[in-house]
Amino acid sequence: MRTTNRLVLLLSGLVALAGAVLIALPLLPSTIATPVVAVVTDAVRAVTAFFAPWAIDVAGTGRIEGPVVAGAVAALVLALLLIWFLSTRRQGRLRTVLRVREPQGATTADEGVAQAVLAGDLADRADVLSATVRGRDVRHEATLRMHVVPRSGAPLRILLEQAQRACEDWAALAGERRPIVVHLADRRGWDRLRSATRVR
């Protein structure tokens, strides 16, 4: 999955780079633009000659040249790949974050229960703007991510201690320790890059 993600990002980056170069060509000095145009022209001619045998005859429509066929196929493959890439971004989200099996049956808990146990008290604090819990499937193991946005000047040490106590309560409820990521983030997006993160 990681390799596929990188490949899709690489292809998207190359397409974006090619578009940026084409847009910037009129702004470049002729000493730079002319060689670039020559290279691009030679490349287009080589690709056209390579795909020329791919031409097909369509009844009632005429002849479709090989480069057009190759371009349509490439565009279709790229579109399908991007659709697949985007559709898999939300995979891994878990609604059922806890499942305890017993001889009498199984007990499950969804995100709402985790939200109440882990983030309920934090969300009620006056110095916390929001506290949310989300479940994720990481390598076939249920994990939880608690995202806390404190107000400016809130005592982060106390918030972390309270979050840790909530993690202990969740471990007691689950009967075992489960991976939980506690993320303290500022209201500003830039400061989130410097936020404190702990894994319990």
What pLDDT, in 10s, does the model give residues 117-129?
888 888 888 888 8
Per the rule left: phi > 0, alpha: psi between -120 and 50, beta: everything else, 179 is beta
Question: Which has more confidence, 22 or 72?
Answer: 72
- Mean of the pLDDT values across residues 78-107? 73
**Angstrom distance (rounded) from CA 111 to CA 122:** 16
Query: Do 197 and 183 touch, CB atoms closer than 8 A?
Result: yes
Confidence of residue 90 (pLDDT cuts 50, 70, 90): low
**Kind and range of the H or E element at 33?**
helix 30-51
Question: Which has more confidence, 148 or 88?
Answer: 148
pLDDT at 32 over 50: yes
Q: Which residues lie below 8 Å from residue 47, measured CB to CB, with a gap of 6+?
A: 67, 70
List Cα–Cα distances, 116 to 44, 75, 166, 179, in angstroms.
Answer: 61, 47, 10, 17
The bridge status of strand 105-110 relative to strand 180-184 is: unpaired
Per-state percent for the chain, helix, strand, coil, to nearest 5: 55, 25, 20
Res 195: pLDDT: 44
Confidence of residue 198 (pLDDT cuts 50, 70, 90): very low
Question: Which has more confidence, 95 or 159?
Answer: 159
**Angstrom distance (rounded) from CA 184 to CA 158:** 12
Question: Which has more confidence, 56 or 91?
Answer: 56
Res 194: pLDDT: 45
Give me the domains of the chain, ranges plus CATH numbers: 2-87 (no CATH), 93-199 (3.30.300)
pLDDT at 61 over 60: yes
What are residue 106's DSSP bridge partners?
101
